[in-house]
């Protein structure tokens, strides 16, 4: 059994989020006032060559900008008598500065409170452990930057609202399904093989996306930064020693960390029309900040007056040397995310990840799993799937963007059955978080649909991880579960990863890949958290100086499929937006999509693969008889069918088509 003994600040790693609340009108946050936008005109059909999107302007934070942001935040922290650690990042996650005020707490503790309100002792996964305050501040800033875009400004408070076991989270909403991004906190992991690390040499120093020390966070105090209306980064504040989450959205919190962050973004606030409280999901208005500008003290913006007197810039191992640096302009080669060339992708709207010197990090290629797959994916097939999925995205109506009737913007990833990346593309303004998440989703769908899923989990040295196989087989009443006979999309695996099954219904058992509700919280989701637990502990030991060795760029301790490489190198994801790829009855890979509403993500992956299959005649979605929605779970007093995908009812901007996934 796993032993839950942690030394302060190095044990495990928290990945998540905290507090929700409600705020005033979006104009009260300091952004440009603007009325609710009118719907955009219906666009013409997409032909696949591009021209559907306008890339964001190339703006960046200067050293002077960062100094002003920190000074404003420090001024508010002094007024509230809360010495804090303040981090600023750019849009692709580079840490531009970390400022530690005199008297600030050096650590914070992740919440050990369960979904039922009790305190877990001993803690499970990453509950109730100490983490460096600087890591919490960086994670909050990364969250604000990565969840936002030119069409939506989300905060760490927004994140808390959309990842809990009920949506919206409140005592009165028990019985509702889980948050739409349930599990996203365990992304952007410090062990991810996709996300970059501080210390790249030369011209590649600022390429992103960069990793987060704690994954994504929803502890209030992470807010995005905009310059001339363009997303350029975020601020994160850690001062109260509590790195948790808020299960009650009905009250309005007076949160000092959020006030400090709001002071920091003055002059760099998002446009009023795109803050989270202008955006609804399933009829629920999202939240941006419970603090408004009128709650703040007079702004102080003189960095020279506070540097060395109120605190100092600090180094954080693995993230910053202690100096202030300017941010990278998103969309440039130096940022690591740029427009594709004609040779890389024919659709001129596509962006790719680059190494900072001109080379695409993940060019389209053929599969690497010829020893295990009779006819692996070819480069031409990979390209066709990406092209068709990109077209579906370009036609789809966005869920989380303003103005209304904007096009969806996402990242799209393809992997083979070994988890090797065969290609990644993204739209120009897709939120950065979706890059890592789309890869997690692709790998998750391929992994759980594969013949080696059970043996890989049973081969993990952590007995806690291995035990999930038996729970899955017992729950499904199938001794051969996870051996390749069933095709699992991420929606299917997500059904099985909730602390209630069916999702949200009180009095029901937990899904077999989740913790029981008595042990569950957002730091202890089940298999998802257990898989990466050792990596997080190793990384935090490195950050604090307790160990000279960082976590490798490969999450999970599942057995290698080839030397030095396993199938889940950036962890798994448990909310919808992926499908496994088949050639006839044989699994040949996975397709993952992330960056918009989960139904949009489902549709882009499912229809994109279907259309590629129609175009090529050689590949496609799983045969209907193999899909997880054939599984019916007997709960004694009810039978519950798993889901495969769920597409929006009337999703397209260029047609009135309805039920577009029906019968496919």
Residue 216 CB-half CA count within 13 A: 33
Would you state the pLDDT for residue 129? 80
- With beta carbons less than 8 A apart as the criterion, state whether 96 and 75 touch: no
Instruction: Cis check for the bond before 502: say yes or no (omega within 30 of 0).
Output: yes
Tokens 């889980």 correspond to what residue? Answer: 178
The two structure tokens encoding residue 205: 């120093």
- With beta carbons less than 8 A apart as the criterion, state whether 596 and 398 touch: yes
- With beta carbons less than 8 A apart as the criterion, state whether 181 and 79 touch: no
Q: Which contiguous run of DSSP H or E holds residue 66?
A: helix 63-79
Using alpha carbons, select from 499, 501, 548 the residue that is nearest to residue 526: 499
Length of the chain: 664
- With beta carbons less than 8 A apart as the criterion, state whether 523 and 15 touch: yes
Using alpha carbons, select from 109, 71, 444, 445 the residue that is nearest to residue 244: 109
Tokens 């839950």 correspond to what residue? Answer: 4
pLDDT tens for residues 180-203?
Answer: 999 999 999 999 999 999 998 888
Would you state the pLDDT for residue 27? 63
Angstrom distance (rounded) from CA 437 to CA 439: 5
Report CA Rg, the chain: 23
Would you state the pLDDT for residue 17? 31
The 3-state DSSP class for residue 190 equals coil
The secondary structure of residue 427, as a DSSP letter, is -
Residue 61 CB-half CA count within 13 A: 35
The 3-state DSSP class for residue 640 equals strand
Would you state the pLDDT for residue 506? 95
Would you state the pLDDT for residue 116? 74
Long-range contacts of 475-482 (CB under 8 A, 24+ apart): 475/509, 475/511, 475/512, 475/633, 476/512, 476/631, 476/633, 477/634, 481/454, 482/448, 482/453, 482/454, 482/457
Stretches where the chain sits below pLDDT 50 are 1-26, 36-39
β-strand 586-594 against 578-583: which pairing, if any?
antiparallel
- With beta carbons less than 8 A apart as the criterion, state whether 613 and 619 touch: yes
Q: In the chain, where are the structural domains located?
A: 333-446+578-622
**What is this structure's pTM?**
0.95
Instruction: Note the CATH number of domain 333-446+578-622.
Output: 3.30.450.150
Separation of CA 509 from chain center:
27
Would you state the pLDDT for residue 110? 87
pLDDT tens for residues 270-323?
Answer: 999 999 999 999 889 999 999 999 999 999 999 999 999 999 999 999 999 999
């Amino acid at each position: 059994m796993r032993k839950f003994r942690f030394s302060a600040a190095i044990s495990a790693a928290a990945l998540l989020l905290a507090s929700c609340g409600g705020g005033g009108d979006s104009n009260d946050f300091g952004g440009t006032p603007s009325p609710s936008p009118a719907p955009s005109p219906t666009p013409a059909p997409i032909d696949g060559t591009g021209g559907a999107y306008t890339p964001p302007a190339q703006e960046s934070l200067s050293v002077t900008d960062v100094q002003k942001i920190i000074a404003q935040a420090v001024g508010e922290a002094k007024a509230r008598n809360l010495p804090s650690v303040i981090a600023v990042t750019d849009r692709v996650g580079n840490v531009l500065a970390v400022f530690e005020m005199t008297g600030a707490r050096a650590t914070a503790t992740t919440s050990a409170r369960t979904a039922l309100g009790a305190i877990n002792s001993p803690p499970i996964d990453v509950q109730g452990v100490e983490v460096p305050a600087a890591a919490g501040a960086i994670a909050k800033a990364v969250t604000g930057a990565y969840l936002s875009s030119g069409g939506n400004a989300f905060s760490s408070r927004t994140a808390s609202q959309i990842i809990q076991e009920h949506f919206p989270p409140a005592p009165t909403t028990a019985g509702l399904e889980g948050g739409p991004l349930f599990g996203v906190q365990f992304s952007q992991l410090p062990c991810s093989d996709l996300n970059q690390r501080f210390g790249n040499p030369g011209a590649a120093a600022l390429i992103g996306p960069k990793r987060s020390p704690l994954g994504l966070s929803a502890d209030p105090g992470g807010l995005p930064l905009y310059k001339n209306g363009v997303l350029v980064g975020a601020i994160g504040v850690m001062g109260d020693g509590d790195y948790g989450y808020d299960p009650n959205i009905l009250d309005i919190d007076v949160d000092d960390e959020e006030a400090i962050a709001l002071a920091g973004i003055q002059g760099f606030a998002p446009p009023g029309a795109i803050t989270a409280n202008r955006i609804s999901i399933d009829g629920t208005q999202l939240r941006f900040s419970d603090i408004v500008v009128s709650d703040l003290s007079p702004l102080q913006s003189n960095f020279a007056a506070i540097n060395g007197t109120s605190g100092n810039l600090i180094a954080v191992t693995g993230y910053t040397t202690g100096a202030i640096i300017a941010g990278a302009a998103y969309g440039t080669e130096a940022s690591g995310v740029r427009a594709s060339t004609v040779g890389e992708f024919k659709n001129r709207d596509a962006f790719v990840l680059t190494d900072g010197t001109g080379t695409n990090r993940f060019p389209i290629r053929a599969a690497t799993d010829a020893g295990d797959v009779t006819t692996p994916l070819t480069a031409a097939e990979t390209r066709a799937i990406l092209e068709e999925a990109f077209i579906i995205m370009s036609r789809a109506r966005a869920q989380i963007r303003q103005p209304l009737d904007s096009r969806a913007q996402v990242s799209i990833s393809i992997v083979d059955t070994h988890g090797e990346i065969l290609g990644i593309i993204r739209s120009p303004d897709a939120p950065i978080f979706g890059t890592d998440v789309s890869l997690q989703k692709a790998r998750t769908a391929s992994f759980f649909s594969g013949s080696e899923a059970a043996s890989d989990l049973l081969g993990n040295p952590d007995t806690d991880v291995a035990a999930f196989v038996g729970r899955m087989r017992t729950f499904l009443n199938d001794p051969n579960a996870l051996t390749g006979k069933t095709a699992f999309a991420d929606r299917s695996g997500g059904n099985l990863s909730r602390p209630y099954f069916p999702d949200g219904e009180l009095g029901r058992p937990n899904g077999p890949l989740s913790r029981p509700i008595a042990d569950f919280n957002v730091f202890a989701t089940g298999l998802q958290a257990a898989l990466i637990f050792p990596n997080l502990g190793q990384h935090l030991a490195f950050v604090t100086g307790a160990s000279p060795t960082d976590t490798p760029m490969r999450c999970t301790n599942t057995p290698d499929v080839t030397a030095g490489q396993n199938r889940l190198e950036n962890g798994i994801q448990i909310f919808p937006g992926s499908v496994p790829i088949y050639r006839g009855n044989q699994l040949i890979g996975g397709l993952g999509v992330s960056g918009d509403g989960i139904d949009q993500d489902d549709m882009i992956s499912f229809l994109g693969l279907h259309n590629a299959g129609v175009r090529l005649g050689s590949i496609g979605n799983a045969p209907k008889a193999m899909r997880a929605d054939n599984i019916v779970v007997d709960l004694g007093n009810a039978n519950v069918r798993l889901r495969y995908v769920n597409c929006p009812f009337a999703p397209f901007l260029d047609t009135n088509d309805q039920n577009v996934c029906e019968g496919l």
